[in-house]
Amino acid sequence: MVAAKDARVFRSRGGAYYGCLLTRGKPVFLATRTLPFGTPRAAGPFAAFSLPAHHDGALDDDVPAIVLSIGLCRSDARRFKYNAAAGGRVSDLVLSRHGDIAWIARQGGGYRILKLDATTGRDKPATVARSATIAGRSLTLKRGRLRWRDGATRRSARLKPLPSTCHP
């Protein structure tokens, strides 16, 4: 499905989704085949993706960033660097090698760009931008800088890495 220098996310023959830190060489369970698994990313020892969820009676997505080097069972909270409600349906997602994530969420008639990094909590995403004209698949990350299109304008914001000593 998706591969990076240090890790990859793939689907097994049985349909379940796994992540693998290449230096560890052991797959880590991410999600069952019955869940619509979206926008997977791998970077450093992390995997991130979106999963459908219901929040306050509305269909939304959850966005977990999982530490592949730990490889514990799915219910172990130490495995998650971040896990948050996406604030809408995720149309694009980026993941840094430090495990920090940002995504574009479609909510109502507009889009929001949200992030989880050193400036936020583990489950409280910050809104970076909000607009009806954000291009839903335009989010990129390069050298700690988020970039996206808002109409004809190119926008950017910083994604500040959480120090490696702050996560499992």
What does the pLDDT look like over 93-113, one tens digit per residue? 999 988 888 999 988 889 999
pTM, entire model: 0.81
Q: Is 168 a member of any domain? A: no
Residue 34 backbone dihedrals phi, psi, to 5 degrees: -80, -15
Average pLDDT, the chain: 81
DSSP 4: -
DSSP string, 125-155: PEEEEEETTB-TT--EEETTEEEEEETTEEE
Distance, in Å, from the CA atom of 116 to the CA atom of 124, rounded to the nearest integer, reads 7
Using the predicted structure, report yes or no on whether residue 165 has a pLDDT greater than 50: no
Residue 118 CB contacts under 8 Å (≥ 6 apart), including other chains? 100, 160, 161, 162, 163, 166
Using an 8 Å Cβ cutoff, are 68 and 9 in contact? no
Asked if residue 119 belongs to a domain, the reply is yes
Contacts of 29 (CB under 8 A, 6+ apart): 16, 17, 18, 73, 74
Flag the least confident range among 6-10, 65-69, 126-130.
Answer: 65-69
Residue 129 has pLDDT above 90, yes or no: yes
Cα(21)–Cα(5) distance, integer angstroms:
10
> Where residue 23 sits, what CATH number does that domain have?
2.130.10.120
The answer to whether the beta carbons of residues 3 and 12 sit under 8 Å apart is no
For the CA atoms of 79, 22, 12, 74, the dihedral, rounded to the nearest 10 degrees, stands at -10
The number of domains in the chain is 1
- Per-residue pLDDT band at 83 (split at 50, 70, 90): low
In a domain, 167, yes or no: no
Q: Does residue 112 form part of some domain?
A: yes
Instruction: Give tens-digit pLDDT for 12-59.
Output: 888 888 888 888 888 888 877 665 667 788 888 888 888 877 666 666
Q: What is the mean pLDDT of residues 81-99?
A: 82
Is the residue at 135 inside a domain?
Answer: yes
In a domain, 98, yes or no: yes
- Dihedral Cα 159, 143, 20, 91, nearest 10 deg: 60
Contact 156, 92 (CB under 8 A): no
Domain for residue 32, yes or no? yes
Supply the range of the domain harboring residue 140. 2-160
- Predicted confidence at residue 76, as pLDDT, reads 44
Q: Is residue 166 part of a domain?
A: no
The pLDDT-based confidence of 154 (bands split at 50, 70, 90) is very high
